[in-house]
């Protein structure tokens, strides 16, 4: 269970401001203006609600399910909505470990997992991504901002250093299962998602992705 994040929750906002300024938030909201209005949104590991606030503001008619393993992160997200004068009635907060979560029998046209999949080892992602992918409607969007390691040059070594320090910190403070980054791209593709657009930030250390579920369209019958 991600209870280690409870310790971090009250400090998460200022730590982000000091260490990353507004870079992570730019990644989170990169595609907010371009996605079609969602009806039902699933947010995984939303944390203290920085993206949730912007999403509710942009799409006040949608309904939201926010799943997080940290009670205190969920409390922060609730408080953040209130502080911004937004209606929290449309947001369902669920305290659950995604690894053991039994998803509801419903579908979502928008999935959001910002800075969340990097918490897991490959074997855990192999479990999580297909389960979440199966909850997506046809043409659902999946917004995913996260860290990455550029393929070569000084940017790769810079990223390695930063990621190494980050994992050291998060493993110690939150007991994070992952010790390094596992790109989830192949698992998203195997779940029927296609990368529509990727934007890079901070010399390639950060990326923001717009994935679209198009699996249904790929299974055309060409035999006749
Ligand atoms: C690195 S924080 C990212 C928070 C936020 N999405 C952001 O953009 O900054 C990871 C979040 O995922 C949650 N989390 C980590 N492991 C989890 C798990 N197994 N199940 C549910 N939530 C988890 C943590 O409680 C935390 O809120």
Please name each of the domains of the chain with its CATH number. 4-215 (3.40.50.150)
CA of 195 to the centre of ligand 1 (A): 23
Nearest CA to ligand 1 atom 6: 46
Atom of ligand 1 nearest to the CA of 16: 9
Q: Say if residue 218's pLDDT is above 80.
A: no
Q: What confidence tens digit (pLDDT) does each residue in 92-127 have?
A: 999 999 999 999 999 999 999 999 999 999 999 999
Out of 63-77, 80-94, 207-221, which region has the weakest mean confidence (pLDDT)? Answer: 207-221
Q: Say if residue 199's pLDDT is above 60.
A: yes
Residue 206 vs residue 219, higher pLDDT: 206
pTM over 0.85: yes
Nearest CA to ligand 1 atom 27: 47
Q: What confidence tens digit (pLDDT) does each residue in 126-184 have?
A: 999 999 999 999 999 999 999 999 999 999 999 999 999 999 999 999 999 999 999 99
Atom of ligand 1 nearest to the CA of 51: 8
Length of the chain (residues): 224
Locate the DSSP E strands across the chain.
40-44, 63-68, 91-95, 108-112, 136-147, 193-201, 206-213
Q: 46: pLDDT confidence band, cut at 50, 70 and 90?
A: very high
Q: 215: pLDDT confidence band, cut at 50, 70 and 90?
A: low
* Whole-number pLDDT of residue 193: 98
Mean pLDDT of 31-55: 97
Q: Say if residue 32's pLDDT is above 90.
A: yes
* Whole-number pLDDT of residue 15: 95
* Listed residue (210, 224, 205, 112) closest to 164, CA to CA: 205
* Whole-number pLDDT of residue 3: 72
Mean pLDDT of 185-212: 98
């Amino acid at each position: 269970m991600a209870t280690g994040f409870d310790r971090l929750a009250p400090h998460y906002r200022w730590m982000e401001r000091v260490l990353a300024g507004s870079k992570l938030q730019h990644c989170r909201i990169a595609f907010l203006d371009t996605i079609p209005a969602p009806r039902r949104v699933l947010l995984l590991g939303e944390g203290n609600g920085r993206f949730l606030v912007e999403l509710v503001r942009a799409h006040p008619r949608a309904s939201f399910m926010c799943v997080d393993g940290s009670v205190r992160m969920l409390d922060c997200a609730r408080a953040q909505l209130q502080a911004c004068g937004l209606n929290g009635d449309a947001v369902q907060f669920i305290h659950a470990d995604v690894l053991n979560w039994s998803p509801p029998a419903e579908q979502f046209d928008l999935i959001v997992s910002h800075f969340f999949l990097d918490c897991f080892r490959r074997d855990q992602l192999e479990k999580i991504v297909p389960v979440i992918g199966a909850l997506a409607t046809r043409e659902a969007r999946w917004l995913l901002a996260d860290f990455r390691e550029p393929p070569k040059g000084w940017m790769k070594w810079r990223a390695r250093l930063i990621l190494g320090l980050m994992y050291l910190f998060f493993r110690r403070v939150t007991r994070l299962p992952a010790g390094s980054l596992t790109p989830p791209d192949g698992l998203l593709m195997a779940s029927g998602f296609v990368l529509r657009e990727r934007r890079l930030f901070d010399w390639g250390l950060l990326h923001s992705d717009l994935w679209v579920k198009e699996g249904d369209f790929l299974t055309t019958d060409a035999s006749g």
